[in-house]
Amino acid sequence: MSPPLSRRTRRRLIAGGAALLVLAGAVLWAVWPNSPGYHTQDARITVRTGPRGDEPVDLDTRLFLPNGASASDKVPAVLLAHGFGGTKESTYSDAEDLAGLGYAVLTWTAQGFGSSGGQIHLDSPDYEVRDAQRLVDWLAARPDIRTDAPGDPRVAVVGSSYGGGLALLLAGQDQRIDAAVPMATWNDLAGAFLPESTGRGPVDGVFKKTWAGLFFGNGASPSLDLTGVPQDAAAAAAAAAGADPSCGRFAADVCAVYQRIATAGRADQAAVDLLRRSSPATVLDRIKAPTLLVQGTADTLFPLTEADANARGIAATGTPVRVAWFTGGHDGGDGPQSDRDRVRFLMAQWLDHYVKGTGDAPPTSFTWSRITGFNALDRGVVTSGYSNPAYPGLAGTSSSTVTVAGPAQQVANPPAGNPAAISSLPAAGGLSSFVNGVVTDLPGQNARFTSAPLDQPVDIVGAPSVRIRAASPSGEAVLFVKLYDVDPSGVATLSSGLIAPVRLTGLPADIAQAQPVSVTLPPIVHRVEAGHTMRIAVATSDQAFATPNQPTVYTVAVPDNATAVTLPTVAGTPIASPQVIWRYVLAGLLVAIAIGLAVVILVVRRRRGRHDASVHPDYADVPLRVDGLRKEYGDFVAVDRVDFEVRRGQVVGLLGPNGAGKTTTLRVLMGLTNPTAGQIHVFGHPLVPGSPVLSRIGALVEGPGFLPHLSGLANLRAYWAATGRPAADAQLDRALEIAGLGESVHRRVKTYSHGMRQRLAIAQAMLGLPELLVLDEPTDGLDPPQIAEMRRVLKRYATDGRAVLVSSHLLAEVEQTCTHVVVVNKGAIVASGPVDDIVGESPTVQIEVSDAGAAADVLGQLAGVRSVSVDGDPRQLVVDTNGTARSEVVAELVRAGIGVERVVPRRRLEDAFLALVGDSSSGSGDR
C-alpha cells in the first residue's frame, strides 16, 4: 500500500475543499431563489367592459410576484392567458416558471369561465380584450412593476389557443404591449371553423362540426364557480342567474351564430362577420410588439396555416416575428419533453430581450421539429429540431414533385354523412395518437391515386398541393383530400390526421367536362422514406365535418389520369434540443465548481503520481484484483479476507445478504475510503484515493446526485468537466446509446422518476466508456421491462475487453446477467467462480397447488422424491424430485384429486445462495 498523506498535505486539502464548499454554498445562496422564489396574491379585480366600457365584470386573478420586487426594485410583467374552458389555475405551471425568471405574472380567469363574471364573447375586442387592457392599467398602477411611462407598464402577453388569440388581439388593440408569445392559436376564427382548401373563403367552407361542438359544449355548461355543489344545485343556481340552458354562459349573439351554422351545416355572411370580429387577422397591421409565434403540427383545430397567416400579416409592417413549429398541438398536447423545453427556451429568450431588456436580439430564424422515433426504454417520443435563417412560408425553400395516377372513380356520399370516415379524434389528448393518422376510409366512399415507390426520402415541411377533377349530378360536392405515406407492407399513415375539406360548386355531371381544381393540403412536417409510395385519397365523408345530407354519387379523377403532387421542403440545419436553464447564473457556478474540483484532483494526483509508477506485472491486464481486503471501523470489522478478480469480458455479480459487506467493499474499490489492510490493483496499478487509474473506472455507488434544475445532459457534461478530462473523451453519445436514455436526457432532472434518475446515473458511470464498470444495485427503481433492458446493457458493455462488477439482491437477474459471482457473508468471501460452478445441478421445482398439506402428504410417499417443503405461500411447495420426472409428480397429484396450478423450475442461484449464507439474511443493514 502507498504511504498515507502527511498531516500538512491533509490540512491543505481539507482547507481547500472547505473553501470550495463555502464558495459554492455562497454562490448557490446568492443565485438560487428561496423556494419557491416568488409569492402570490389573489384578488377579484372589477373591470369596465362592453362596447361603451361601462359594464362592470369581476375577474378572478392571481399575481405571481418575485421575492424582492418593490418600488425601488421594479420588475417587468407578463399577462398570462388560459385556453378555452380553462381558468387561471390552468396557467400556474407556466406562471411559476416565468416568476422564477424574474417576471411579475398576472393570471386571470376570463369572463364567462370559472368564478369570473360576465359571458363568453370569444375574445371580442369589446369584452375579453378590453378586460385585458384594464388589467394592464392595474399593473401600471402598482409601485413594484417597471413602467416605460405613466400608465404604461413593461409587459408582455403570453397565451395558448384561446389565450393566444387574446394575446394577438390585445397586442393589436393596445400599443403598451412590449412583446407577445401566442401559441397554437388562430388567424381567422371563421376560416378555422369553416376551412375551404380552394381559397374561396369560409362562406363556402366545410363546417368543422366536432371541434365546434366541443367548444360550444365546453362553454355552454353553466360554470358559476360551483365546485363541489351538487349538479341539481348548480342547475338551480344557473337558472337563478338567468342563464339560457341552451347557451350556458355564451353571449346571445355567439350562441345564435353557432346554432345557425350547426343546423345548416354552413355559414351565412353575418356568422362569418361575427367570428371575424374575434380574429387577429383584423389587427395584424397594428401589432408593433415583437411576436414569437408557436404552432403545433399535430393540430386539426388550428393548423399551421393559422400561424403562417399571422406571421405574414405582422411581418408586413416591419415588426420582428419569429415562427416555431413543434410536434404538439390541440391533438398532440404539449408535445415531447424536448419540444416543451425548446419552446420554453425560445420564449425565455424572446421575453428577456424585448421585455426585460437583457441579452442580444433573438434571431428571427424559423425552427421546426419532427418525430424521429421512440425510446423503447421509457416509451418516450424522440424529436429532432431544425432551423432556417428565415421563415419560408408554407411553400418551403424548395419543392419536389411526385406523380400519382389512377383512373376516374365513382364515390358515394352517404345519407346524412353516415357512416363517415374517421381522420382524427379531436381533443382526445394522448388517445388521439391511437386514431389520428390511422386509415379509416370506407369502401365505396373514397377514390385513390397512387405513386411509384420513391427513389429517395423526402422531408415534407409545408403545405403540399394537388390538382383534382370532380363531377356531381347535383352540381355540388363536399370532398376531403388526404395525403398518405404508404410503406412497402401497405401500412398507410395520414400525418397527424390532417385533411383538406373542399366544397365545390358548379360541377358538371360528366367527369369528361370537369375542370381541374387546385387543392392545398394542410401543412405538415413528415419524412417519407425511400421505397414508400404516396397516395392521394379523395373521400366523401368525415366524422369531424358536416357533409350534405342527400345521398349522391360523385365521380373523382386527376387530370389526364395522372397528376403531380407538389411537396415543399426546407433546407434546415439540425439543432440540439436546448435545455431550459431558468437560472442562467448556474452555468457560471458549474464552471467554478468544475475548476475547483479539477484543482483539488490535480493536487492529489501530483501527491500520488509517484506511487502509480509501480505496475504489478501479473495484473497489468486484469481490470480488478483484490487481495486480503480488510476494513475496520473502530472495533467493528466490516470486511475481512476478501479476495477475488474481475477479468476482461466478465460480468461479475457481488452477492450477499444485508450486512454482508458488499457496499463497504465497493466503497474501498472506488477509493471512497481507505482499507485497513490488503491490496487492490486496477490494471496492475495499486488503488489509492485520487489515483489516476480511477479514470479507467466508471461507478454508481450509494445512489446518484444531480442538480435538479438542470437537464440530464447538462448534469452529465458538468460531471465530466469536473473530472478535468477533454470533452471529446466523454463519448457522450455512445454512453447515452448504451444506457437507452433517448430524448429524455434533455428534460430537467427534477421531472425524472426514480427509475429515470437511475438510468441517468448509469449513463454517468459509462461516460468515457471506462474499462471497468462498478454498479451498486443498478436495477433499483426500474420496472420489469427496464430490468430486462439493463440486463442486455450490461452484457453488451462487457465486450471489447471491458468488464463489469455489479452488486445486486435480484438473484434471478444476476443468474441471467452475470458470468461469474462472488458471494460475501459476514464480511468474508464464502464462494466465488463461474455462475454454473456455483449453482451446480438442482433438481428442485416449485409447484402451486390447491391444497399444499394434502399435496405434501402425497408426494412424501412418492418413491424418488427427496424432500417437500412449503415455500412461503401456503399454496406453493418446493419439491426436490431427485431425478423423478416432473410429469410423474404432476400425475400423482392429479390422481389424488389435488389441483395443480403451475409447475416451474426453482431458481437455482437462489438455492445455492441460501445454502451458502444460511439464515444470515436477517441483518439490519449492509456494511
SS3 of 552-588: EEEEEECHHHEEEEEEEECCCEEECCCCCCCCCHHHH
Q: What average pLDDT does this structure show over 547-570?
A: 95
Instruction: Give per-residue pLDDT as tens, 495-505.
Output: 888 999 999 99
Reply yes or no on whether the pLDDT at 730 is more than 60: yes
Closest CA to 507 of 553, 450, 466, 443: 553
The enclosing H or E element of 139 equals: helix 128-140
Under the banding of pLDDT at 50, 70 and 90, the label for residue 924 is: very low
Instruction: Give per-residue pLDDT as tens, 652-711.
Output: 988 877 777 888 888 887 767 788 888 888 888 887 766 677 778 888 876 667 777 678
Q: Cell match 419540444: residue? A: 339
C-alpha to C-alpha distance for 408 and 717, rounded to whole angstroms: 60
C-alpha to C-alpha distance for 145 and 69, rounded to whole angstroms: 8
CB 350 within 8 A of CB 292: yes
* pLDDT score for 118: 95
Query: In terms of pLDDT, which residue wins out, 744 or 627?
Result: 627
At 278, list the grid cell: 374575434
Q: pTM for this structure?
A: 0.62
Closest CA to 182 of 277, 83, 301: 83
C-alpha to C-alpha distance for 502 and 484, rounded to whole angstroms: 17
The dihedral built from the CA positions of residue 66, 68, 69 and 74, taken in this order, carries a sign that is negative
**Share of residues in the chain with pLDDT > 70 (%):** 80
- Going by their DSSP bridges, the two strands 38-49 and 291-296 should be labelled as unpaired
* pLDDT score for 467: 97
Reply yes or no on whether the pLDDT at 450 is more than 80: yes
Q: Out of 76-85, 328-337, 816-825, which region has the weakest mean confidence (pLDDT)?
A: 328-337
C-alpha to C-alpha distance for 183 and 350, rounded to whole angstroms: 14
At 507, list the grid cell: 360541377
Instruction: Give per-residue pLDDT as tens, 386-428.
Output: 999 999 999 999 999 999 999 999 999 999 888 888 888 775 5
The dihedral built from the CA positions of residue 361, 365, 371 and 373, taken in this order, carries a sign that is negative
C-alpha to C-alpha distance for 686 and 224, rounded to whole angstroms: 75
At 808, list the grid cell: 445486486
- Calculated CA dihedral for residues 463, 469, 473, 478, nearest 10 degrees: 0
Instruction: Give per-residue pLDDT as tens, 849-907.
Output: 888 888 888 888 887 787 787 766 677 788 877 777 777 888 888 888 888 877 766 65
* pLDDT score for 25: 44
Reply yes or no on whether the pLDDT at 360 is more than 90: no
Q: What average pLDDT does this structure show over 332-347?
A: 82
Instruction: Give per-residue pLDDT as tens, 491-527.
Output: 888 888 899 999 999 999 999 999 999 999 999 999 9
At 440, list the grid cell: 379509416
Average pLDDT, the chain: 82
* pLDDT score for 236: 45
Under the banding of pLDDT at 50, 70 and 90, the label for residue 801 is: confident
Phi, psi (deg, nearest 5) at residue 759: -70, -35
Per-residue b/e over 26-38, b at no fewer than 16 CB within 10 Å?
ebeeeeeeeeebb
Reply yes or no on whether the pLDDT at 575 is more than 70: yes
Under the banding of pLDDT at 50, 70 and 90, the label for residue 131 is: very high
* pLDDT score for 203: 87
* pLDDT score for 254: 93
Size of the chain, expressed as the number of residues it contains:
927
Which range is most confident: 239-248, 312-321, 894-903?
Answer: 312-321
Query: In terms of pLDDT, which residue wins out, 716 or 559?
Result: 559
Under the banding of pLDDT at 50, 70 and 90, the label for residue 476 is: very high
* pLDDT score for 458: 95
* pLDDT score for 197: 86
Q: What average pLDDT does this structure show over 569-583?
A: 62
Under the banding of pLDDT at 50, 70 and 90, the label for residue 90 is: very high
* pLDDT score for 599: 56
Q: Out of 446-455, 492-501, 712-721, which region has the weakest mean confidence (pLDDT)?
A: 712-721
Runs of H (alpha helix) within 432-537: none
Find all residues with CB under 8 Å of 192, minimum gap 6, and list them: 186, 208, 301, 302, 306
Q: Out of 289-293, 356-360, 740-744, 768-772, which region has the weakest mean confidence (pLDDT)?
A: 740-744
* 605 torsion bin: left (phi>0), alpha (psi -120 to 50), beta (else): alpha
Under the banding of pLDDT at 50, 70 and 90, the label for residue 17 is: very low
Reply yes or no on whether the pLDDT at 195 is more than 80: yes
The dihedral built from the CA positions of residue 312, 314, 315 and 320, taken in this order, carries a sign that is negative
The enclosing H or E element of 278 equals: none
User: What burial class does residue 118 get, using C-beta atoms within 10 Å of its C-beta: 0-12 exposed, 13-18 middle, 19+ buried?
Assistant: buried
Give me the DSSP letters along 41-80.
EEEEEEEEETTTT-EEEEEEEEEEEETT-BTTB-B-EEEE
* pLDDT score for 177: 98
At 653, list the grid cell: 455479480
User: What burial class does residue 565 get, using C-beta atoms within 10 Å of its C-beta: 0-12 exposed, 13-18 middle, 19+ buried?
Assistant: buried
Under the banding of pLDDT at 50, 70 and 90, the label for residue 27 is: very low
Query: In terms of pLDDT, which residue wins out, 885 or 381?
Result: 885
The three-state secondary structure class of 382 is strand
* pLDDT score for 507: 96
Q: What average pLDDT does this structure show over 437-450?
A: 83
Closest CA to 580 of 418, 346, 792, 782: 346
Q: Cell match 466503497: residue? A: 667
Q: What average pLDDT does this structure show over 585-597?
A: 51
The three-state secondary structure class of 142 is coil
Q: What average pLDDT does this structure show over 465-484?
A: 96
Looking at the chain, the number of H-run helices and the number of E-run strands are: 22, 40
CB 823 within 8 A of CB 838: yes
